[in-house]
Each structure stands twice: as C-alpha cells, then as structure tokens.
Copies of this chain bind each other. A is one copy, B any other.
C-alpha cells in the first residue's frame, strides 16, 4: 500500500463510555489502530457539538453517544457504529440508520465465554456444594466422604435446560459438551432447526422447566418477557433442581424466585439482582440455597480486550467494503424490543 497522508486516514469518532480505549484495546492494538485511522476522542455528550467538518469525515463511531437525526445527517460517510457497551439504548434514530445502511453492531459476544464458564462453575458448586463444604471445613464442621455427599449429584448424564440461545446459550452448550447431558433449549426468537443443528433439543419453556435437573437462564430482557419467570414457572421445576440466573434480573419475578429457594423447592445461583449493589439489609443475602455472585460473570479484562479485537476485525472488513462479520448487528425488527439496562461501571 502506498503511504497515506494523515488526512487520508479514515476517521473514527471515539466515545466508548463507560468503556475506554485503554480498556478495550491492548497497547499494541491501539497503536495499530492509530497508525491506520485517525481517532477523534470525545465525551459522548459533546458529539452533537462537534465541528461539522469533523462530523463530515466520520466513517466509524466507537461508542453509543446520543445521536439526533441532524447529527446523523451531518455524517454522510458514516458506515458503522460499534456499540461497545453492548446494550442498545434508545438514543439514536435507528430507522434512519437502517435506511442508510449504517450498521449498528454490538460486542456483547465477548461476555459469552466468561459467563458460560462461571455458569458451569456455579452449577457444579451447587451440584456438589463446593462453596458450602469449604465454608464448613473452615469452620471445622465438615462432613467426610459419602456423608458430605447426601445431596450431591452429577451433571453428566443429567437433563439440562437453557433459556435463551444467543451467544451465551451457545457458549454454555460448548462448555457442557463433555457432559453427555440431555440438553433442551427454549428461545422463541430462534428457529428450532438451529437448535437441533447445535446438537440440542428445542423445547417449550414449560418443558425446559419441568424436565431439567439444572436450568440456565441466559435470556435477554425484551419488551415481551419481563418477569416471565414467575411463581408458576418456578413451581414447575423439579424439587431440588438448580436455577442459574446469568442474564438480567428483570426476566425474573424476584420475590417468587426468592420464595422458591427459601422454601427449599429449588436451589439457585444468581449473578444479577433487582437493585445493584444489593442493599445490605436485603433478605436475599441470607437465603440458604442461593449462591451469590455480584454481577461478576462477564466483566473480565480478557473479555474487554476481546471487544477491541472484534472492533478491529470488523473495521478491517468494512474498510474493504465488506459487511461486518464478527460483531452482532442490531436488527430493525428487534432493536426496539431490547430492554436490558446498560451498565454504568465496567
């Protein structure tokens, strides 16, 4: 390639809050990015006020700044918005973006592997009481051998349900692949043949709840499914079965969830809470049978660095006038239905 004058380099508007460029790019990758693109860093609230000449040159946005129709109109060269927070806010005119063929993509897939791993770890901890046995041991009241295993069970050969078959569901399926389990998946947005092709069985929500020893919930919140896991849903579960909440608190009726655990009907682990941080006096804290994780499932440095890699790979494709293939695209049909709350901390 012939040398490019600085002014020739494509311009990326960077407003990645709550992320930062240093969080999502390794120093080496950031250097490469600067070598190939001009980076215009700007707090997201000041994007609208940028100089029109600058706006006119913007080819990509990293971040999810509020964008008005006017601001968008000032960016005729915009090709793609990389939303690295990954929850789609309703702060830009998506319809215009879709009409113009500007991609809006998210990098939430980076959380799939971390969430799947801790999900499996939580499930194994519940199945074998790893956390409780360690606490007992430290307290000098451990039970040895079979006496400590009265409620222990294997995942191998068991029945497992997964609610939600996006990136997280797929990653879960992968880490479960060595367990010879019967796996049923419920996701009303996914065609059954895709679930079958992945080696699992598509199922109704009822079947997943009723016929599983372990249920992983990785469903995103939408306008349709808030609180759909309610008292009736938990009542369907097998006595002693485990429920792992790994996506968003809003898909669960938390009072019903707590009651189902408290009564001993199910055991559970959760990474999310209706209010975060959970108040110190919340009754949830002391429920026996609930394994706690303070919204730690995804937020690993390794995950954030992969965000940058995803952006980098799709930038490379877009620069060659190819569609992005790594990040996930917002969809006309569903963008308005997403209701997951954005995070304010990483």
Residues of A bordering B, CB below 8 Å: 98-99, 101, 113-114, 117-118, 120-122, 124-125, 127-128, 130-131, 133-135, 137-138, 140, 142-149, 152-156, 174-180, 188-194, 199, 276-277, 280, 285-286, 291-296, 299-302, 309-310, 313-314, 316-317, 320-323, 325-326, 331-334, 343, 345-346
Q: When the two chains form their complex, are residues B302 and A153 in contact, meaning their CB atoms are under 8 A apart?
A: yes
Q: When the two chains form their complex, are residues A296 and B191 in contact, meaning their CB atoms are under 8 A apart?
A: no
A188 to B134 CA separation, bound complex (whole angstroms): 33
Closest B residue, CB atoms, query A119:
B124
Copies in the complex: 4
Residues in B whose Cβ lies below 8 Å from that of A120 = 120, 124
Closest B residue, CB atoms, query A273:
B144
Q: Determine which of B121, B152, B301, B331 lies in contact with A125 in the assembled complex, contact meaning CB atoms within 8 Å.
A: B121
- List 10 A-B pairs, minimum CB-CB distance, nearest first: A121-B124, A137-B292, A146-B299, A177-B178, A191-B313, A131-B131, A142-B294, A175-B178, A174-B178, A148-B296
Closest B residue, CB atoms, query A155:
B117
Given A121-B121, A325-B194, A145–B295 Cβ distance below 8 Å? yes
Q: When the two chains form their complex, are residues A144 and B300 in contact, meaning their CB atoms are under 8 A apart?
A: no
Residues in B whose Cβ lies below 8 Å from that of A276 = 144
| 16 A–B contacts, CB within 8 A, in A order | A98-B101, A113-B156, A117-B154, A130-B291, A131-B131, A131-B134, A133-B293, A133-B296, A134-B292, A144-B294, A145-B294, A146-B345, A189-B317, A190-B325, A191-B313, A191-B314
